[in-house]
Structure 1
Amino acid sequence: MNRFHVHLNVADLATSIRFYTELFAAPPTVVKGDYAKWMLDDPRVNFAISNTGRAPGVDHLGIQVERADELSELGRRLDAAGGEVLPEPGAICCYANSDKMWTHDPQGTRWETFHTLGEATSYYAADASCDSEGASCSPRAGQPAPAARASAAACCAPSSSCC
Protein backbone atom coordinates (compact mmCIF):
# COMPACT_ATOMS: atom_id res chain seq x y z
CA MET A 1 0.00 0.00 0.00
CA ASN A 2 1.31 3.44 -0.89
CA ARG A 3 1.99 6.06 1.74
CA PHE A 4 1.62 9.82 1.29
CA HIS A 5 4.82 11.76 2.05
CA VAL A 6 5.17 15.31 3.37
CA HIS A 7 8.53 16.93 4.11
CA LEU A 8 8.66 20.25 5.97
CA ASN A 9 11.61 22.50 6.64
CA VAL A 10 11.50 23.76 10.23
CA ALA A 11 13.28 26.55 12.10
CA ASP A 12 13.55 24.73 15.45
CA LEU A 13 13.75 20.94 15.27
CA ALA A 14 13.25 20.21 18.99
CA THR A 15 10.18 22.44 19.27
CA SER A 16 8.75 20.94 16.08
CA ILE A 17 9.37 17.39 17.31
CA ARG A 18 7.46 18.19 20.50
CA PHE A 19 4.59 19.73 18.51
CA TYR A 20 4.22 16.89 16.02
CA THR A 21 4.65 14.21 18.71
CA GLU A 22 1.63 15.70 20.48
CA LEU A 23 -0.34 16.19 17.26
CA PHE A 24 0.24 12.61 16.08
CA ALA A 25 0.10 11.12 19.62
CA ALA A 26 3.26 9.20 18.76
CA PRO A 27 7.00 9.81 18.93
CA PRO A 28 9.01 9.98 15.72
CA THR A 29 10.28 6.68 14.32
CA VAL A 30 13.56 8.33 13.29
CA VAL A 31 15.33 11.20 15.10
CA LYS A 32 18.67 12.67 14.04
CA GLY A 33 20.35 15.97 14.85
CA ASP A 34 18.78 17.66 11.82
CA TYR A 35 15.85 15.40 10.94
CA ALA A 36 12.83 13.52 12.32
CA LYS A 37 10.28 11.24 10.68
CA TRP A 38 6.95 9.73 11.67
CA MET A 39 5.69 6.65 9.80
CA LEU A 40 2.02 6.92 10.65
CA ASP A 41 -0.76 4.48 9.87
CA ASP A 42 -3.65 6.81 10.71
CA PRO A 43 -3.43 8.77 8.52
CA ARG A 44 -1.08 6.62 6.41
CA VAL A 45 1.70 9.15 5.90
CA ASN A 46 5.49 9.42 5.96
CA PHE A 47 5.82 12.83 7.64
CA ALA A 48 9.34 14.23 7.83
CA ILE A 49 10.84 17.47 9.14
CA SER A 50 14.36 18.79 8.83
CA ASN A 51 16.45 21.74 9.90
CA THR A 52 19.09 21.97 7.19
CA GLY A 53 19.16 25.68 6.45
CA ARG A 54 16.20 26.08 4.12
CA ALA A 55 13.34 28.48 4.71
CA PRO A 56 10.64 26.94 6.92
CA GLY A 57 7.62 25.55 5.12
CA VAL A 58 6.67 22.74 2.76
CA ASP A 59 9.76 21.36 1.05
CA HIS A 60 8.05 18.75 -1.11
CA LEU A 61 5.20 16.25 -1.29
CA GLY A 62 5.43 12.68 -2.41
CA ILE A 63 4.27 9.10 -2.58
CA GLN A 64 6.25 6.28 -1.01
CA VAL A 65 5.68 2.84 -2.52
CA GLU A 66 6.48 -0.59 -1.12
CA ARG A 67 7.72 -2.26 -4.32
CA ALA A 68 9.90 -1.36 -7.31
CA ASP A 69 7.11 -2.18 -9.79
CA GLU A 70 4.87 0.36 -8.04
CA LEU A 71 7.57 3.00 -8.51
CA SER A 72 7.74 2.15 -12.22
CA GLU A 73 3.96 2.55 -12.48
CA LEU A 74 4.12 5.94 -10.76
CA GLY A 75 6.86 6.95 -13.18
CA ARG A 76 4.57 6.10 -16.11
CA ARG A 77 1.77 8.13 -14.52
CA LEU A 78 4.07 11.11 -13.94
CA ASP A 79 5.23 10.92 -17.54
CA ALA A 80 1.60 10.82 -18.75
CA ALA A 81 0.85 13.87 -16.58
CA GLY A 82 3.26 15.80 -18.79
CA GLY A 83 5.88 17.01 -16.34
CA GLU A 84 9.58 16.36 -16.74
CA VAL A 85 10.47 13.28 -14.68
CA LEU A 86 13.95 12.93 -13.25
CA PRO A 87 14.93 9.43 -12.07
CA GLU A 88 17.33 9.20 -9.14
CA PRO A 89 18.24 5.56 -8.53
CA GLY A 90 20.18 4.62 -5.40
CA ALA A 91 19.73 8.02 -3.74
CA ILE A 92 21.04 8.56 -0.23
CA CYS A 93 18.81 11.12 1.41
CA CYS A 94 17.11 11.68 4.73
CA TYR A 95 19.01 8.78 6.29
CA ALA A 96 17.61 6.33 3.72
CA ASN A 97 18.71 4.63 0.51
CA SER A 98 15.95 4.90 -2.09
CA ASP A 99 15.17 4.76 -5.77
CA LYS A 100 13.36 7.99 -6.64
CA MET A 101 11.69 10.00 -9.35
CA TRP A 102 11.17 13.75 -9.10
CA THR A 103 8.92 16.19 -10.93
CA HIS A 104 7.14 19.52 -10.44
CA ASP A 105 3.41 20.04 -10.72
CA PRO A 106 2.08 22.93 -12.86
CA GLN A 107 2.43 25.31 -9.86
CA GLY A 108 6.05 24.37 -9.26
CA THR A 109 5.46 22.16 -6.20
CA ARG A 110 8.13 19.49 -6.00
CA TRP A 111 6.90 15.88 -6.00
CA GLU A 112 9.02 12.90 -4.99
CA THR A 113 8.01 9.31 -5.70
CA PHE A 114 10.24 6.73 -4.04
CA HIS A 115 10.87 3.15 -3.00
CA THR A 116 13.01 2.88 0.13
CA LEU A 117 15.65 0.16 -0.07
CA GLY A 118 17.17 0.54 3.40
CA GLU A 119 18.67 2.86 5.97
CA ALA A 120 21.66 5.16 5.46
CA THR A 121 24.06 6.60 8.00
CA SER A 122 23.99 10.16 6.65
CA TYR A 123 21.41 12.74 5.63
CA TYR A 124 22.79 12.84 2.10
CA ALA A 125 25.45 10.94 0.18
CA ALA A 126 28.79 12.57 0.90
CA ASP A 127 30.21 11.07 -2.28
CA ALA A 128 27.33 12.14 -4.56
CA SER A 129 27.54 14.92 -7.11
CA CYS A 130 27.14 17.84 -4.73
CA ASP A 131 26.62 21.48 -5.41
CA SER A 132 29.33 24.05 -4.83
CA GLU A 133 28.46 24.36 -1.15
CA GLY A 134 28.73 20.59 -0.70
CA ALA A 135 25.48 20.36 1.23
CA SER A 136 23.09 19.22 -1.43
CA CYS A 137 23.30 16.23 -3.66
CA SER A 138 21.35 15.33 -6.76
CA PRO A 139 21.69 14.47 -10.40
CA ARG A 140 22.60 17.40 -12.60
CA ALA A 141 21.49 16.54 -16.13
CA GLY A 142 17.85 16.97 -17.06
CA GLN A 143 16.70 18.15 -13.68
CA PRO A 144 13.37 19.95 -13.57
CA ALA A 145 13.72 23.69 -13.07
CA PRO A 146 12.56 24.75 -9.60
CA ALA A 147 9.76 27.27 -9.30
CA ALA A 148 11.92 29.31 -6.96
CA ARG A 149 15.53 28.56 -6.08
CA ALA A 150 15.91 27.73 -2.39
CA SER A 151 19.00 27.59 -0.21
CA ALA A 152 21.39 24.84 -1.21
CA ALA A 153 21.74 23.45 2.32
CA ALA A 154 18.72 21.18 2.19
CA CYS A 155 17.41 17.81 1.23
CA CYS A 156 15.36 15.96 -1.04
CA ALA A 157 15.02 17.04 -4.61
CA PRO A 158 17.12 17.40 -7.68
CA SER A 159 16.51 21.11 -8.04
CA SER A 160 19.89 22.00 -6.57
CA SER A 161 18.46 20.75 -3.35
CA CYS A 162 19.49 17.39 -2.12
CA CYS A 163 19.20 13.76 -2.36
Structure 2
Amino acid sequence: MRLQLALNVPDIDQAVAYYSKLFGVTPHKRRDGYANFAIEAPPLKLVLFEQPDAGERLNHLGVEVLDRELLGRNLQRLTDAGILEEVQRDETCCHATQDKVWSRAPDGTRWEWYRITDDNPAPARETLGGVCCARKEATEDIGLG
Protein backbone atom coordinates (compact mmCIF):
# COMPACT_ATOMS: atom_id res chain seq x y z
CA MET A 1 0.00 0.00 0.00
CA ARG A 2 1.23 3.51 -0.78
CA LEU A 3 -0.13 7.03 -0.74
CA GLN A 4 -0.95 8.68 -4.06
CA LEU A 5 -0.58 12.40 -4.76
CA ALA A 6 -2.03 13.60 -8.09
CA LEU A 7 -1.02 17.09 -9.17
CA ASN A 8 -2.05 19.38 -12.01
CA VAL A 9 1.13 20.91 -13.46
CA PRO A 10 1.50 23.72 -16.00
CA ASP A 11 4.42 22.09 -17.87
CA ILE A 12 4.87 18.32 -17.79
CA ASP A 13 8.51 18.39 -18.94
CA GLN A 14 9.57 20.84 -16.22
CA ALA A 15 7.62 18.90 -13.59
CA VAL A 16 9.14 15.55 -14.60
CA ALA A 17 12.63 17.04 -14.51
CA TYR A 18 12.02 18.52 -11.04
CA TYR A 19 10.38 15.48 -9.43
CA SER A 20 12.99 13.13 -10.94
CA LYS A 21 15.64 15.15 -9.12
CA LEU A 22 13.58 15.56 -5.93
CA PHE A 23 12.97 11.82 -5.47
CA GLY A 24 16.00 10.50 -7.38
CA VAL A 25 13.92 8.31 -9.71
CA THR A 26 12.69 8.36 -13.29
CA PRO A 27 8.98 8.13 -14.16
CA HIS A 28 7.36 4.70 -14.01
CA LYS A 29 5.09 5.75 -16.89
CA ARG A 30 5.24 8.72 -19.25
CA ARG A 31 2.63 9.66 -21.86
CA ASP A 32 1.67 12.89 -23.60
CA GLY A 33 0.61 15.30 -20.83
CA TYR A 34 0.95 12.61 -18.15
CA ALA A 35 3.60 11.02 -15.94
CA ASN A 36 3.64 8.88 -12.82
CA PHE A 37 6.40 7.96 -10.42
CA ALA A 38 6.37 4.77 -8.32
CA ILE A 39 8.60 5.90 -5.45
CA GLU A 40 9.78 3.28 -2.96
CA ALA A 41 11.08 5.57 -0.21
CA PRO A 42 8.89 7.17 0.89
CA PRO A 43 6.21 4.83 -0.50
CA LEU A 44 4.45 7.23 -2.87
CA LYS A 45 2.70 7.16 -6.24
CA LEU A 46 3.17 10.67 -7.66
CA VAL A 47 0.89 11.38 -10.64
CA LEU A 48 1.28 14.46 -12.82
CA PHE A 49 -1.39 15.79 -15.20
CA GLU A 50 -0.40 18.60 -17.56
CA GLN A 51 -3.18 21.15 -17.00
CA PRO A 52 -1.77 24.67 -17.53
CA ASP A 53 -5.09 26.40 -16.82
CA ALA A 54 -6.08 24.40 -13.73
CA GLY A 55 -7.31 26.58 -10.88
CA GLU A 56 -5.98 24.10 -8.32
CA ARG A 57 -2.64 22.33 -8.38
CA LEU A 58 -3.94 19.41 -6.28
CA ASN A 59 -5.96 17.08 -8.52
CA HIS A 60 -6.76 14.42 -5.90
CA LEU A 61 -5.26 12.13 -3.25
CA GLY A 62 -5.38 8.39 -3.10
CA VAL A 63 -4.19 5.10 -1.70
CA GLU A 64 -2.97 2.38 -4.04
CA VAL A 65 -3.64 -1.13 -2.76
CA LEU A 66 -2.18 -4.27 -4.26
CA ASP A 67 -4.94 -6.80 -3.65
CA ARG A 68 -8.66 -7.07 -4.31
CA GLU A 69 -9.51 -8.06 -0.72
CA LEU A 70 -8.03 -4.90 0.77
CA LEU A 71 -9.90 -2.75 -1.75
CA GLY A 72 -13.11 -4.60 -0.86
CA ARG A 73 -12.57 -4.01 2.87
CA ASN A 74 -12.12 -0.28 2.23
CA LEU A 75 -15.25 -0.20 0.06
CA GLN A 76 -17.19 -1.70 2.97
CA ARG A 77 -15.57 0.63 5.51
CA LEU A 78 -16.42 3.76 3.48
CA THR A 79 -19.96 2.47 2.90
CA ASP A 80 -20.47 1.75 6.62
CA ALA A 81 -19.12 5.21 7.50
CA GLY A 82 -21.53 6.86 5.06
CA ILE A 83 -18.75 8.56 3.08
CA LEU A 84 -18.70 6.47 -0.11
CA GLU A 85 -19.15 8.75 -3.10
CA GLU A 86 -18.37 6.65 -6.14
CA VAL A 87 -17.35 3.17 -7.25
CA GLN A 88 -15.67 2.32 -10.56
CA ARG A 89 -14.88 -1.14 -11.89
CA ASP A 90 -12.56 -1.93 -14.77
CA GLU A 91 -12.01 1.79 -15.42
CA THR A 92 -9.24 2.64 -17.88
CA CYS A 93 -7.74 5.86 -16.65
CA CYS A 94 -4.25 7.29 -16.23
CA HIS A 95 -3.01 4.75 -18.80
CA ALA A 96 -3.97 1.77 -16.61
CA THR A 97 -7.10 -0.30 -15.94
CA GLN A 98 -8.24 0.02 -12.32
CA ASP A 99 -10.95 -0.69 -9.78
CA LYS A 100 -11.63 2.42 -7.67
CA VAL A 101 -13.53 3.56 -4.61
CA TRP A 102 -13.96 7.34 -4.15
CA SER A 103 -14.82 9.63 -1.26
CA ARG A 104 -14.88 13.42 -0.89
CA ALA A 105 -13.64 15.20 2.25
CA PRO A 106 -15.73 18.03 3.74
CA ASP A 107 -13.30 20.53 2.17
CA GLY A 108 -13.96 19.03 -1.28
CA THR A 109 -10.70 17.09 -1.60
CA ARG A 110 -11.25 13.87 -3.57
CA TRP A 111 -9.72 10.65 -2.23
CA GLU A 112 -9.53 7.36 -4.12
CA TRP A 113 -8.66 3.87 -2.97
CA TYR A 114 -7.66 1.92 -6.08
CA ARG A 115 -6.12 -1.28 -7.43
CA ILE A 116 -4.44 -1.52 -10.83
CA THR A 117 -5.65 -4.57 -12.74
CA ASP A 118 -3.75 -3.89 -16.00
CA ASP A 119 -0.80 -1.46 -16.06
CA ASN A 120 -0.54 -1.53 -19.86
CA PRO A 121 -4.03 -1.58 -21.44
CA ALA A 122 -4.64 -1.51 -25.18
CA PRO A 123 -4.30 2.08 -26.48
CA ALA A 124 -7.90 2.08 -27.78
CA ARG A 125 -9.19 1.84 -24.19
CA GLU A 126 -7.01 4.62 -22.78
CA THR A 127 -8.56 7.90 -21.71
CA LEU A 128 -6.94 11.19 -20.84
CA GLY A 129 -5.91 11.64 -17.21
CA GLY A 130 -8.10 14.69 -16.58
CA VAL A 131 -11.15 13.13 -18.21
CA CYS A 132 -11.12 9.90 -16.20
CA CYS A 133 -11.38 11.75 -12.90
CA ALA A 134 -14.89 12.98 -13.72
CA ARG A 135 -17.56 12.13 -11.13
CA LYS A 136 -19.88 9.14 -11.57
CA GLU A 137 -22.70 7.89 -9.38
CA ALA A 138 -21.84 5.46 -6.58
CA THR A 139 -24.38 2.84 -7.52
CA GLU A 140 -22.44 0.09 -9.26
CA ASP A 141 -21.57 -2.99 -7.20
CA ILE A 142 -18.00 -3.80 -8.13
CA GLY A 143 -18.10 -7.14 -6.35
CA LEU A 144 -14.96 -6.63 -4.32
CA GLY A 145 -14.03 -8.57 -1.21
Quickly name the TM-score band, shorter chain normalised: 0.7 to 0.9
Deviation of residue 76 (structure 1)?
1.7
Structure 1, unpaired ranges of 5+: 127-134, 137-153
Residue matched to 1:159? 135
**Aligned-partner residue type, residue 70 of structure 1:** L
1:43 counterpart SS class: coil
Q: Does 1:31 align with 2:30?
A: yes
Asked if the contact 1:93/1:122 (under 8 Å) is kept, the reply is no
Residue matched to 1:106? 106
Alignment RMSD:
2.2
Residue matched to 2:74? 74
Deviation of residue 51 (structure 1)?
1.1
1:72 counterpart SS class: helix
Count of aligned pairs between the two proteins: 134
Distance 1:104 1:156 in 2: 16
In structure 2, the CA distance between the partners of 1:156 and 1:53, relative to structure 1 (3 Å rule), is farther
In structure 2, the CA distance between the partners of 1:124 and 1:58, relative to structure 1 (3 Å rule), is farther
Asked if the contact 1:91/1:125 (under 8 Å) is kept, the reply is no
**Aligned-partner residue type, residue 42 of structure 1:** A
**Aligned-partner residue type, residue 8 of structure 2:** N
**Aligned-partner residue type, residue 59 of structure 2:** D
Asked if the contact 1:52/1:155 (under 8 Å) is kept, the reply is no
Structure 2, unpaired ranges of 5+: 137-145
Normalized against structure 1, the TM-score is what? 0.74
Higher relative contact order (Cα pairs below 8 Å, separated by 6+ residues)? 2
**Aligned-partner residue type, residue 45 of structure 1:** L
Asked if the contact 2:11/2:52 (under 8 Å) is kept, the reply is no
Residue matched to 2:139? none
Residue matched to 2:46? 47
Structure showing the higher helix proportion among its residues: 2
Matches within 5 A, 1:82-101: 82-101=82-101
Deviation of residue 124 (structure 1)?
6.7
Residue matched to 2:121? 120
Distance 1:53 1:97 in 2: 26
Residue matched to 2:142? none
Distance 1:17 1:88 in 2: 28
Deviation of residue 77 (structure 1)?
2.0
Q: Percent of counterpart pairs with the same letter?
A: 26
Matches within 5 A, 1:56-75: 56-75=56-75
Normalized against structure 2, the TM-score is what? 0.82
Deviation of residue 84 (structure 1)?
3.2
